[in-house]
Structure 1
Amino acid sequence: MSGAVQAGYAPPTGPDQPAPGRRRLRWLLAATVAWAVLLAVLTWISVRDDPPTVREQRSLAEAGPVVDRAVGELLAAAGDGGAAWLVPDVLRRGCRVTPFADGAALTRGVEVLLADDDARGLLQRVADRLPADWRAGVRVTGEGPVLRADAGEFVAVEGRSTGSGRVRLTAETGCRPVGAGYRAPTADGGSEAAMVTELLGGFGGAAGPVEVSAAPCPDGATARTATAVSAPDRPDRPTLPGALSRFSDGTLQVRATTELYAYRSSRTVVAERVDGRVRLTVAAICRR
């Protein structure tokens, strides 16, 4: 047979010579695998070393301590502006981090009772005392003056009037992945809880346990707020000023009415009649 190759006829490929199409497919597959490995490595490095760029990258377990420190800063900034204390934290579950993932949002706050109605003045003083990198500022809106600041790690800080002579300052995470969950700072009630029990003795005693909230102060101390509610009030019970004024001699009296009595000394003491009972709060606040 002649060794000439007929026109239009490709010579057969030997067993050790893969077709050109197969070689291209193998190179494409190898390049795809290498690119996927490179992306995985870069993603791991970014997650390990780079700060989060969106709120959803920081879980509630990680953001919780930022909120705790923020309310300590707020308490220290507002402490001498009236009678200030911590309010119980609020954890709202069931929000949506993504269309496919549930999350939770944490809010902690500080309540301030003023001797006057100058909420804007207090908010401005608080803004001036907060850390400079929070970029705190006060704007007057249709709902009144509002303080806004950024405590870092996507924790939003806000302050606004909640009524005559009252201001609420809050730090909030927004909706986050839960992660390991939020664990509030713990502290025994100490002398604050004992004082609540003693003061409520004049109103029939506490109707339930004393609730204690805590937060870290900027100076390393721990702020504590103890609160309890009395048994149902009776007509023969003393008025709030009548029962509490003897404890507030030589202190700064903030409010004194038949329904609300508050003073500040080394601690904040606030008593308020609510639904026929006396709710009493004693707080050791942060100092500057």
Structure 2
Amino acid sequence: MALRVRLLLFVALPLTVLTVLAGAGIAWWRWDAARQPAVSDDIPAMDQAIAGALTAAGDQAAVAISGVLRVATCRIGPVREGGEFSRSADLYTDPGSEDDLISRIAGGLPASWQPRRRAAVGGNAAPMTATIGPGVRLSVRQLGPGWVTARARTGCTGGKQPAGSAPDSTGSPATEVVNGLLSAIAVPPKEVRRHRVTCPQGGSLATLAVLSQPTDSADLTNRLRTRLPGGARLFTSVSNRIAYRDGPVSVIVAASDDNTAVTVRHTTTC
């Protein structure tokens, strides 16, 4: 065999082997990714958990939901990174009513979720936990006076955080309410988000969340009290926040975390 042929074989054979191995590795990676859990598989159970909690709460709180967020990093296997994801809802009631609200939620959930109250900690109402399906946990706990949160959280799973939904179109009832409240404090909107989950009996529960342009966020209750619809239930607050319920509609207006802007959340419940 000529020297040139031997040299070609010496180079070509290892390259062929490497190509085959690389192809097999890619095929295995795709197969392994396809069989791993994905957050998209858990979102229906997360939505069901949040919608169930808010439906059980009834009209005893003004409520708002958030989008799906990646809240922790974890490892699904030796070579694959995953995450834990959550969707949450805020519930605002009168201070002192938090325990009754959590009890109402626990009593209104399906027995198959195994809702149970835990020991109270730090003077707050006893929290509640439940399990929805094989991988989603629901927790409902008090965060502050009149403030309760419901959070549905996955275990370690794959996939990416879902993209946010497009905002409501101009002229919708939610947009008109939000714009009216912002105009009362003379500030335009800056960022707009919409979050939606499916209700247990059909239809949907949707929150329009708006962050204003920088503005003075002081004394929101007195500045906006006259903008409440007739017959709306205003929940008492010890914070710079106004939260009311008008039939199936909840509206929550609060100062941003740094007090330089105002957030308005309009939610149509189940």
In structure 1, what is the Cα distance between the partners aligned to 2:89 and 2:58?
A: 10
1:85 maps to which residue? 64
- The answer to whether the 8 Å contact 1:68/1:185 transfers is no
1:115 aligns with 2:94: yes
2:174 equivalent among 192, 210, 214 = 192
In structure 2, what is the Cα distance between the partners aligned to 1:96 and 1:57?
A: 11
Shift of 1:118: 2.8
TM-score if structure 1 supplies the norm length? Answer: 0.71
Give CA deviations for 1:55-91 in whole Å, capped at 9, x if unaligned.
Answer: x963212112211222111221123221111123312
In structure 2, what is the Cα distance between the partners aligned to 1:62 and 1:137?
A: 25
Aligned residue for 1:74, secondary structure, equals helix
1:216 aligns with 2:198: yes
Cα 1:153–1:58 change in 2 (3 A) is farther
2:241 equivalent among 260, 271, 275 = 260
1:249 equivalent among 230, 251, 257 = 230
Larger CA deviation: 83-92 vs 107-116 = 83-92
Larger CA deviation: 195-204 vs 254-263 = 254-263
2:105 equivalent among 126, 144, 147 = 126
Q: Name the aligned partner's letter for residue 168 of structure 1.
A: T
In structure 1, what is the Cα distance between the partners aligned to 2:69 and 2:76?
A: 18
Give CA deviations for 1:116-158 in whole Å, capped at 9, x if unaligned.
Answer: 2232221111011011110101122434411010111321111
Q: Name the aligned partner's letter for residue 281 of structure 1.
A: R
Aligned residue for 2:224, secondary structure, equals helix
1:47 maps to which residue? none
TM-score if structure 2 supplies the norm length? Answer: 0.75
1:177 equivalent among 158, 167, 172 = 158
Cα 1:203–1:77 change in 2 (3 A) is same
Cα 1:138–1:247 change in 2 (3 A) is same
Aligned residue for 1:123, secondary structure, equals helix
In structure 1, what is the Cα distance between the partners aligned to 2:71 and 2:53?
A: 22
2:187 maps to which residue? 205
Write the mapping of 1:65-76 to structure 2, written as runs, cut at 5 A. 65-76=44-55
Q: Name the aligned partner's letter for residue 86 of structure 1.
A: I
In structure 2, what is the Cα distance between the partners aligned to 1:219 and 1:161?
A: 27
Larger Rg: 1
Q: Name the aligned partner's letter for residue 205 of structure 1.
A: V
Write the mapping of 1:4-23 to structure 2, written as runs, cut at 5 A. none
- The answer to whether the 8 Å contact 1:271/1:281 transfers is yes
Q: How many pairs are equivalent?
A: 228
Cα 1:78–1:206 change in 2 (3 A) is farther
Shift of 1:256: 5.8
Q: Percent identity?
A: 24
In structure 2, what is the Cα distance between the partners aligned to 1:100 and 1:123?
A: 41
In structure 2, what is the Cα distance between the partners aligned to 1:117 and 1:104?
A: 36
- The answer to whether the 8 Å contact 2:94/2:237 transfers is no
Aligned residue for 2:187, secondary structure, equals coil
- The answer to whether the 8 Å contact 2:209/2:265 transfers is yes
1:63 aligns with 2:42: yes
Gap regions ≥5 residues in structure 2:
1-34
| Aligned CA-pair RMSD | 2.5
- The answer to whether the 8 Å contact 1:210/1:228 transfers is yes
1:142 maps to which residue? 121
